[in-house]
């Protein structure tokens, strides 16, 4: 499996971050950074990461099944995450999530057929003082209203 030169550089740096007999420490970061390129954790990626670290693929699977941000099925190019945890709930997060479901025609952890958008109702993302909060891929959006969300989505549709 070939990665981009940037990812190769990142992986090299990553593997140098841990004692040489502790390469397994690089597992989760390697999956996270590689997933940004592959979209999700494919079978091929599991095997590649296992090979690079020098562990059996089953040890990679053990980890992939534990962490919410490691995806085992394709996500959209734009992964929209709406927080409905307590501070967001109090400021309209639930209505915002329902609105987003309708806007995108998707439910929790669903990906649109054309692969452009996917949606997820997420737990607290650390934006509680500027709630309700949304993340699209890794970008944060604060004080999001349904109107603001529509605007965000429509803009992304245009650039797509």
Rule CB under 6 A: choose which of 125, 140, 146, 148 binds ligand FES: 125
- CA dist 8 and 143 (Å) reads 37
Q: Is 147 helix (H, G, I), strand (E, B) or coil?
A: helix
Question: CB under 8 Å to 83, separation ≥6 — which residues?
Answer: 93, 121, 122, 123, 124, 125, 127, 131, 132, 133, 134, 135
- CA dist 64 and 58 (Å) reads 10
Binding partner of 22, given ligand FES, other proteins, none, CB within 5-8 angstroms per partner class: other proteins
- Contact between 14 and ligand FES per CB under 6 A: no
Number of residues that bind other proteins (CB under 8 A): 46
Name the segment binding other proteins (CB under 8 A); options: 1-9, 91-99, 107-115, 146-154: 91-99
Name the segment binding other proteins (CB under 8 A); options: 72-80, 93-101, 108-116, 150-158: 93-101
Per-residue contact flags (x/-) with ligand FES for residues 78 to 117, judged by CB under 6 A: -----x-xxxx-----------------------------
Q: CA torsion sign, 49 to 120 to 37 to 112? A: positive
Long-range contacts of 16-19 (CB under 8 A, 24+ apart): none
Rule CB under 8 A: choose which of 1, 6, 9, 32 binds other proteins: 32
Q: Which residues bind other proteins (CB under 8 A)?
A: 17-19, 22, 24-29, 31-33, 53, 62-63, 66-70, 84-87, 89-95, 123-131, 135, 138-140, 142
């Amino acid at each position: 499996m070939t990665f981009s030169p940037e990812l190769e550089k990142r992986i090299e740096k990553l593997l140098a971050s841990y004692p040489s007999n502790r390469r397994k420490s690089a597992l989760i970061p390697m999956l996270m950074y590689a997933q940004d390129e592959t979209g999700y954790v494919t079978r091929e990626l599991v095997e590649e990461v296992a090979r690079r670290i020098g562990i059996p693929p089953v040890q990679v699977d053990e980890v992939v099944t534990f962490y919410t941000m490691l995806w085992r099925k394709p996500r959209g190019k734009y992964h929209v995450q709406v927080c409905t945890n307590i501070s967001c709930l109090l400021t309209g997060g639930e209505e915002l999530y329902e609105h987003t479901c309708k806007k995108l025609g998707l439910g929790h952890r669903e990906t649109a057929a054309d692969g452009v958008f996917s949606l997820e109702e997420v737990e607290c993302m650390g934006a509680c003082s500027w709630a309700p909060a949304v993340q699209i891929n890794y970008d944060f959006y604060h004080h999001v209203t349904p109107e603001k969300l529509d605007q965000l989505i429509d803009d992304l549709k245009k650039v797509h």
